Structure 1
Amino acid sequence: MSSRPWSRRARRALLASFVTASVALPVSGASRPAAVPAPAPAAPAPLSTAEPSVLEARYAAGREEIRAARDMAARHGDRRRAATLTGMAGPGRTFLWFDGRDGGRSAEVFGDLSGAERIAVLVPGAGVDLDHYGRLQRGAKALLGELGSGSAVVAWLGYRTPTMLGPSSLTSGRADEAAPGLRSFVRQLGAATPAARMSLLCHSYGSVVCARAASGLEVADIVLYGSPGTGADSAAALHTRATVRAGLGGDDWIASVPHLEVPLPFVTVGFGTDPVAPEFGAEVFDAGGAGHSDYLTPGSVSLHSLAGIVAGKAGGRHA
């Protein structure tokens, strides 16, 4: 954690953000997707192989879990959630696992995992849940399209993401909860696809999750983009053998967020050093003019850069 002194103005700005988010939370929480009930899923066996027959069985089980959650949402009277889940259970959708409770957890595969030479695992940030899953799905499809054959993209919605306007997005609590699950998933995926090159693509608050999970993961790249910081002072502090890369789009509002850590009673607010700053030491890639939600937009500079990293073809300037 950073130990630099904070100016009174910077401290006041971050505390003001915290207070504003705290006031906004009851409003945003009134219709939280976690309020929609769903059945507890069966615990899947660890993924030990990516043989097509094994994957097909996992995908079939995932569809059954989604349909069960859809039926419960319909009985609850939530037509929006039921419609979302109907789409997720449709032909061609392939989920390694699914849990519809508390906003939703899932891992969806795009592409042919059994034959993939390169795999990208997308780790989303704040505000992504079953009712806002479409943007994660669209990004995964766009990345797969840019990568082409021999690739797979996994959209990992494996944790209770923070709300966009709430104190949970300003502290590491949700990331601390998420890290063990991400670490376990990546290790299982790596064991099932040992010949594939794997990259973690970590957007916004997802970069905090990836930083917490980084130590010991056998991945080629950990890519932090649209990041508020990671809670680490440097790439070296992540204790990973992966190449740590970072990018920030020219139109991303997160560039205006103070990169500070402010200790408060029982919690630290903020995530410290900007990953694209020289002192962090990541390899910085070209994110073009991307806005905060635009890094995986088809045809964008940022998407081209991210695909190059996943394919093992991209360099980067050392920040």
Structure 2
Amino acid sequence: MGRTTGAAGTSEPREAHRPRGSDQADESPPTAPGPCGRRRTHRRRRALLAALITAAVVVPLSGAARPEIPAPAPAALAPVTAATLDETYAANRANAAEASRMAAAHGNHERAAAVRAMADPSRRFLSYDGRGAGLATEVFGDLAHADRVAVLVPGSDTSIDTYDRFRDAARALHERLSRQAPHGTSTAVLAWLGYETPGTVSTTVTTTDRAEQAAPRLREFIQQLRAVTGREARVSLLCHSYGSVVCGRAAPHLDVNDIALVGSPGTGADSAAALHTRARVWAARGGADWVAEVPHISLDLLGTTVGFGTDPVSPAFGARVFAAGDGGHSDYFRPGSTSLTNLTRIVLGETPEVGHG
């Protein structure tokens, strides 16, 4: 949920968009709230939930549909293996170059420029589809020989048009892994924009619908990834914001070693055990992340479930909570941050600094 900028990897609202009253709450003395304080907290949460639902239902009704930008169908490729990676990369770059020409001819120069950058000879995409909002999976590092692999799953408002924000997160993680990995350990990071993310203000961002659609795609992708890396590679899913809902829905039967949830509004499950995964489940939230003010509830509203349930950093959820520092919703992959340091340790199979829910 929400819009990030910079190296966060998704396009989610920054801290200026935190709910009213959150700054005052930060300044409160560290004493247990009395009955009046608890009532005020409950009223704020109910008001926030009402605002979220209203915005999600009402605001999209006033917006016109964006015109479709023409693009070619994805390149027809054989199943990817370690031996065919270079061929796959070349075919997807060629497809992106054609998509750029088509977008330019259509008069959409912003999309044309974004896709032209993806066609650069230095870029490596396991998949690319320039139609609609766009889908892509980019590789950083030597995937064919990687011992440690991280897969980033983005949150809302991530598309080809905003892709550079997501890419910055993957690059920052790979650079840190390259410095921190033990001698002889090869690493790779994959930026998996493999689903149509919900809009920050939309009817889809408060429900699991998009995550339900994305989950089979993520499972299929992990199977394909294992065909390249083999079973011996350690694979970690790093799931940001609404991406954690996707990871929660895909978790059963996923062949991964770790699932890390950062800036999560919830997973749609009541507990880590309810994810039915053999992977270690981690969770963290920055001290200034506005998502802490989102009510962690699940309500039936007009036949649709709104909300994502238990807070992943709460003791009730049962995840392994690690430290994320004082950053906001957009800071989990910021170079030099506590969260990036600990995410790197998780990917390497090391123990991160313990945090508190």
TM-score scaled by structure 2?
0.82
Alignment of 1:61-140 (within 5 A): 61-140=91-170
1:3 aligned residue: none
1:185 aligned residue: 221
Please give the per-residue CA displacement for 1:47-97, whole angstroms capped at 9, x wherever unaligned.
2x223xx11000001101111211111111000000001111112100011
1:50 aligned residue: 82
TM-score scaled by structure 1?
0.92
Q: Which has the higher contact order (CA 8 A, sep 6+)?
A: 2
Alignment of 1:154-233 (within 5 A): 154-194=190-230, 195-233=232-270
Distance 2:199 2:291 in 1: 15
Question: 3-state DSSP class of the match of 1:35?
Answer: coil
Decide which structure has the larger Cα Rg and report it: 2
Alpha-carbon contact 1:202-1:223 (below 8 Å) kept? yes
CA 287–8 in structure 1, closer or farther in 2 if over 3 Å, else same: closer
CA apart distance, 1:9: 7.3
Taking only aligned residues, the RMSD between alpha carbons, in angstroms, comes to 1.8
2:33 aligned residue: none
1:41 aligned residue: 74
Distance 2:240 2:77 in 1: 27
Please give the per-residue CA displacement for 1:11-47, whole angstroms capped at 9, x wherever unaligned.
55423311123333256x5475x73222221343322
Of 295-304 and 186-195, more deviation after overlay is shown by 186-195
Distance 1:13 1:142 in 2: 33
What is the letter of the counterpart of residue 39 of structure 1? P
Which 4+ stretches in 1 moved above 6 angstroms? none
Alpha-carbon contact 1:62-1:98 (below 8 Å) kept? yes
1:269 aligned residue: 306
Distance 1:135 1:31 in 2: 24
CA apart distance, 1:196: 1.3
Distance 1:222 1:280 in 2: 14
Where do 5+ consecutive residues of structure 1 fail to align? 1-6
How many percent identity over aligned positions?
55
Please give the per-residue CA displacement for 1:131-188, whole angstroms capped at 9, x wherever unaligned.
1001111010000010016110000000010001112110011101101010000111
CA 138–9 in structure 1, closer or farther in 2 if over 3 Å, else same: closer
Distance 1:79 1:31 in 2: 19
How many equivalent residue pairs? 308
CA apart distance, 1:317: 6.0
Alpha-carbon contact 1:217-1:240 (below 8 Å) kept? yes
Please give the per-residue CA displacement for 1:195-225, whole angstroms capped at 9, x wherever unaligned.
2110000000000000111101111100100
What is the letter of the counterpart of residue 227 of structure 1? S
Question: 3-state DSSP class of the match of 2:205?
Answer: helix
